[in-house]
């Protein structure tokens, strides 16, 4: 009771001075170091906890996790994922590595790391879906209200009416163009769209360009918008 984790500085209090000491051009990473206590790593997530001896391999694994955090954090940051998501993913991954190590982990190939990371993310997703299903307070579709201060072509239309018309115009596009346009309108970059669809960049660019042109024509036919913009 007295010797609980509250005696150990919380992660945030432990990590921040270290982050501040590192200087130049640090990107947002959302990296969480393990609680390192007197030569032992203490790992805790979601009710599980384990303590493993600190040695060269645990240091290497921790370095790997921190590198993971840096690169995963870039996408999370770009896409506006909450920091809790990246933190949870990191803790899941760390636990899996350490458990595997206890079981005599031999393989740390790129394939193994990828499989482990994807299965950690899938577990988080499944857990959340289960929690949503049992929760009565289902807040499906809650979203931050979008700024409506810009008086554009839709100034004569109610914002949500305009939104519905745009969505209907997108629904009416040809399927191959439609999916690219949807991704673009959700803020995905062209190279991200190409990677997810496994299309060449030329094909992606072509279909996006045509899809946006179709969309604008359809909206103009409805009397919405005249301004051109590049894709």
Q: How far apart are CA 223 and CA 156, in angstroms?
A: 11
Range in contact with other proteins (rule: CB under 8 A) among 5-13, 37-45, 46-54, 123-131: 123-131
Q: Which is nearer to other proteins, 26 or 102 (CB)?
A: 26
Range 7-46, binding other proteins (CB under 8 A): 18, 22-27, 29
Q: Which of 35, 41, 62, 94 binds other proteins (CB under 8 A)?
A: 62
> How far is Cα of residue 167 from the mean position of the Cα atoms in its chain?
24
Q: How far apart are CA 52 and CA 186, in angstroms?
A: 43
Site string for other proteins, 73-102 (x = CB under 8 A): xxxx--x-x---xx--x---x---------
Query: Which residues in 132-161 contact other proteins (CB under 8 A)?
Result: 140-141, 143, 146-147, 150, 152-154, 159-160
The torsion defined by the Cα of 152, 153, 159 and 161, in degrees rounded to 10, comes to: -170
Chain positions 98 to 117 lying near other proteins, rule: CB under 8 A, are: 106, 108-114, 116-117
Answer yes or no whether residue 53 interacts with other proteins by CB under 8 A.
Answer: no
Which of positions 202-221 make contact with other proteins (CB under 8 A)? 212, 215-216, 219
Q: Which of 68, 94, 95, 214 binds other proteins (CB under 8 A)?
A: 68
**Does 166 participate in binding other proteins (rule CB under 8 A)?**
yes
Kindly tell me which of 2 and 23 has the beta carbon lying closer to other proteins.
Answer: 23
Q: Which residue of 95, 170, 173, 207 would you call a contact of other proteins, by CB under 8 A? A: 170
Decide whether 52 or 120 has the Cβ nearer to other proteins. 120
């Amino acid at each position: 009771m007295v010797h609980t984790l509250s005696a150990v500085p919380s992660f945030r209090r432990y990590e921040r001075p270290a982050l501040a000491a590192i200087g130049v051009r640090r990107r947002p990473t959302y990296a969480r170091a393990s609680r390192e206590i007197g030569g032992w790593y203490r790992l805790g997530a979601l009710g599980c906890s384990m303590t493993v001896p600190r040695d060269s391999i645990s240091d290497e694994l921790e370095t790997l996790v921190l590198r993971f955090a840096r690169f995963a954090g870039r996408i999370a940051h770009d896409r506006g994922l909450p920091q809790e998501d990246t933190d949870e993913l990191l803790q899941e991954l760390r636990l899996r590595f350490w458990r595997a190590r206890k079981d005599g982990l031999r393989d740390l190939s790129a394939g193994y790391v990828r499989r482990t990371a994807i299965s950690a993310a899938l577990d988080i997703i499944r857990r959340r879906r289960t929690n949503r299903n049992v929760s009565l307070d289902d807040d499906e579709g809650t979203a931050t209200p979008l700024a409506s201060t810009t008086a554009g072509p839709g100034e004569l239309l109610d914002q949500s009416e305009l939104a519905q018309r745009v969505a209907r115009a997108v629904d009416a596009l040809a399927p191959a163009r439609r999916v690219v346009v949807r991704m673009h309108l959700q803020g995905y970059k062209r190279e991200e769209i190409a990677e997810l669809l496994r299309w060449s960049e030329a094909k992606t660019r072509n279909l996006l360009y045509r899809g946006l042109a179709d969309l604008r024509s359809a909206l103009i036919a409805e009397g919405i918008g005249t301004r051109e913009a590049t894709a």
